[in-house]
Structure 1
Amino acid sequence: MARRAMSLLSQWSSRIFSVELDGAPFYFSIQETHRREEVPRVFREVRNNGRCYSLLVCSDDRIRRAKFYGELKGKLLRGLPPECDLSPMSSFLPNVKDSLIKGYFLKDNSESSSSSERLLRRLIQHDPVFVCSYFRREEGQLWTQHLWSHADSQTMETSKEYYVVPSEAPQYHPSTLNIINSDVFYSFEEAYEVIKKCGDIIPEASSVLELLPSRAEARSKPDFPVIVIEGLDATGKTTLTESLRDTLGAALLRSPPQCLSPLRARFDQEPPLIRRAFYALGNYITAEQIGQEGMKTPVIIDRFWHSTAAYAIATAVSGPVCNLPAEGSEVYCWPSDLLQPSLVVLLTLDPEERKRRLRDRGQGKTEEEQKLDHNQLFRLRVEEAYRRIIGPACVIVDASPSADQVLQQVQLLIRGKCHL
């Protein structure tokens, strides 16, 4: 059995399990004896003849793990009876970094669970996944978990039986355990290794690697100030960056850089690990461009690492803002090997005014923009993640006045902070 799987099994009874229902996580744990605890919320509404299963992805290879998890939902939806309900699930060791594994929780309300079990048996024989069955005991007052094992390509349930009991919510949302160098990258090497390992499965990965700067080159600080303008769509970033370019005689760059545009649609289809590594490398390409332009003139950048990190953190963590990593967490610290700007301005706008401006544009929306529109909690998480990033932190500017007034305010900031 693979090393990761062995490690997971050795600590199985110490793990906490989380199932998302209607966007909120519900937690349970397992124990060898039962002390008459109440039934966990996840199991309370299962029909009398219903059966539950969990699937958790456990490959040693993080690329394979990410790809398989990304494809697993489709496999299940295509193969399971329509009476089955599928919910996102994870398992973790409390407060242990990189201990999170992801998968799905299945409630099978069909007349017979045989077709579901056939599909799960096929999965366990060939794919990096742990499968558990959950049984109702004593007229629904108890539930037990049975972990399936592999034996000569035949699936069987282990004789080990665990009782399922409620668990308190952890101090921080479990997804925060795996954010570093998984959802957000903090070094060139970490992101580079992910894309490099994708070469066999994503032909376009080689094109990305060819565009990257040499890490052997000296990283000297630009002679001129570097100013980043951040903010959600329709807050006036394009208007402001172009005005600053003209008034300061500055170079204007954008992140992700133009050279990655033909590849974005391809990598946007990939699971978060690969997609985030792609955009992280885009920041290093932009940094090289900044280094070149900043020797001759001030540089204005339309979005940079703050955007990459804020959106990734807000996507990785579900629920209200309080689920985000705490202020001061290393998650919000600027990568030590990425060029630091002189000033970062975050444009903010009343949500209704921003929606009005988006409607006036009449443009098609990105997937993230649609998510911002339909999910207020996601928007609040993005905005708060922006505010918590340090090294440098954002200076917040209200973008509701006229474009000229916003320009004047930002020019005053630049004079004060950058002496331009």
Structure 2
Amino acid sequence: MRKQVCIVGAGPAGLLLGHLLRAEGIDCVVVEQRSPGYVLGRIRAGVLERITVSLMEQLGLDARLKAEGMPHGEFSLADGERLIHIDLMDLVGQQVTVYGQTELTRDLMEACDARGLQVIYGAEGVTLHDVATDAPFVTYTSSDGTEHRVEARFVVGCDGFHGPSRRAVPASVGREYERVYPFGWLGILADVPPCGAGLIYANHERGFALASQRSPTRSRYYVDVPLTDRLEDWPDERIWDELATRLGPEAAAHITRGPSIEKSIAPLRSYVFAPMRHGSLLLCGDSAHIVPPTGAKGLNLAASDVYYATEALRAFFGANDPDAIGGYSDKALARVWKAERFSWSLTRLMHRFPEDGPFERAMQVAELDYIASSRAAQTSIAENYVGLPV
């Protein structure tokens, strides 16, 4: 098989890129190791920045997002009994949209056949070859044992942190930046109404908590836990009790308890791989960077990567402009590092780290006091939360 672009990974980044390239008349194929059911079964982010929504609008795949997505013009920071409201609309005139990553992926998947986007699922042993040259190719084995080869002018890795794309870049070329956090997020999904109109990020002496949502009848909550904890250590009732304590009395009074429909513990890390382009290989999303979920930047960073990649590939194939490809990594990384900074700073502000002492806690209190009393500080947070311009 020969294509102009071979995309590795059929998560939201890979599918979004595939649809955008098809809309530009660029011949591409998406190769995915897992099954469609597995891809859809991953419970991930649910807060969309304007860049992500605008790309779905551009594709005309935003009908369900507009009908079911929940616009949010505010969120809150909680510290003990205090709630600091960040009014996004008042401060920066923008909002975010709560719409689960699973639903976004479903919208993209269901449009593939009608729009001629070829997606190959169940591709085992995906391997990238000759990515430093102008003639890269990708090999894989289908479920019946048949070996396949996809020749392309460019390969785009959208295959996540553990995928093969980043590993195709020689160690002598790439550099890793990483911060691993000493806790994980225990998440619970339940079919209960949210406890408030917006998200609540809480810093409590017992630890961090987050009240989020997926719909008017489905809520997503988190508490931070030691990495040694197991799911069996946390029955539903214990999680609800902990949430009520950490979120504070105002939020606790509106929490509706119910049985979990999904629970998981996710480790946290900040990670950047640079450069995000090597030869004919471009990296997008989690294959090149990871952010802690504080601030909901992961999926939205992948969307901005896809935007930059689409612009570069359109310029290359439409105007024969090799400089556009050459500038992809610097453009993408400039936004990545700003999002990494915001996610790291919000994580540092709202979590109690094991090594922290009285000084570190006093700094958190001072910072929260400043935010509570300063419109300038709130504006800076709001500007970053809704997403910086691409």
TM-score (norm 1): 0.25
Larger radius of gyration: 1
Larger RCO: 1 or 2 (CA < 8 Å, sep 6+): 2
